[in-house]
Amino acid sequence: MDKTDAQLISAYINGDQKSLEFLIERYLKQTYNFIWRQVGNIEVAQDLTQETFVKVWRNIKKYRSQLNFRTWLFTIARNTAIDWLRKKKSFVFSDFEDQEGNNILTDKLADSSPLPDELLARAENKKMLENALAQLFPMYKEVLILRYNDHFSFKEIAGVLDKPVNTVKSRHRRALMALRDIISL
């Protein structure tokens, strides 16, 4: 479908139910990926993605057309993920396992001093980067995810986070430095 987000929203408000379906299809994968990277759990990410789109559906009539829809949607997704993370107070060690069964928490507790060539091999590994991202403060991690996974501009990220552009750029720079320090350990 070649309609813009604003056209689809307008059509939905005027009674075209399919327009909302097209809008959801357009952003479903991006939204899920963003939330999954925030919470690190497939089932929770699926539930939170669904919850995000329910919130969009409930509030679509309140959407202000002068805002970028994608920014508005990702703001809702971010807030939904943050709400879930705040409610989640306890954890079990299995929460830190990836799909292959590797547990980054127990790996970090073990006293292993890798050789330099092992460090280089790890740095090139995608899994190493994901583990390093998991160690970042959430405010840094979300800036990197929005910038590099979802290809948001700094201005769009500022809209999602409700922060000034310079704050976003500063967090981006600090996140990259922290990531470099984590990977070089």
Residue 13 has pLDDT above 70, yes or no: yes
Find the mean pLDDT for residues 20-36: 92
CATH number at residue 161: 1.10.10.10
Considering the domain architecture, whether residues 83 and 122 belong to the same structural domain is answered as: no
In a domain, 171, yes or no: yes
In a domain, 136, yes or no: yes
**Confidence (pLDDT) at 28:** 93
Residue 37 has pLDDT above 70, yes or no: yes
Residue 124 has pLDDT above 60, yes or no: yes
In a domain, 143, yes or no: yes
Residue 20 has pLDDT above 60, yes or no: yes
**Confidence (pLDDT) at 4:** 87
Question: Which domain does 4 fall in, by range?
Answer: 1-89
**Confidence (pLDDT) at 85:** 87
**Confidence (pLDDT) at 50:** 94
**Confidence (pLDDT) at 98:** 67
> For residues 83 and 67, what is the distance between their CA atoms, to the nearest angstrom?
23
Backbone φ and ψ for 150, nearest 5 degrees, come out as: -105, 0
**Confidence (pLDDT) at 110:** 46
Considering the domain architecture, whether residues 26 and 85 belong to the same structural domain is answered as: yes
Give tens-digit pLDDT for 77-103. 999 998 898 887 555 555 666 666 666
Give tens-digit pLDDT for 130-155. 888 888 898 898 998 899 888 899 99
**Confidence (pLDDT) at 67:** 79
In a domain, 95, yes or no: no
Query: What number of CA atoms fall less than 13 Å from residue 9's CA on the CB side?
Result: 20
**Confidence (pLDDT) at 111:** 43
Spell out the SS3 assignment of the chain: CCCCHHHHHHHHHCCCHHHHHHHHHHHHHHHHHHHHHHHCCHHHHHHHHHHHHHHHHHHHHHCCCCCCHHHHHHHHHHHHHHHHHHHCCCCCHHHHECCCCCEHHHHHHCCCCCCHHHHHHHHHCHHHHHHHHHHCCHHHHHHHHHHHHCCCCHHHHHHHHCCCHHHHHHHHHHHHHHHHHHHCC
**Confidence (pLDDT) at 97:** 66
**Whole-structure pTM over 0.85, yes or no?**
no
Residue 113 has pLDDT above 70, yes or no: no
Residues 6+ apart with CB under 8 A from 39: 45, 48, 81, 84, 85
Considering the domain architecture, whether residues 123 and 182 belong to the same structural domain is answered as: yes
Considering the domain architecture, whether residues 81 and 162 belong to the same structural domain is answered as: no
Average per-residue pLDDT in the chain? 82
**Last residue in a domain, options 46, 74, 89:** 89
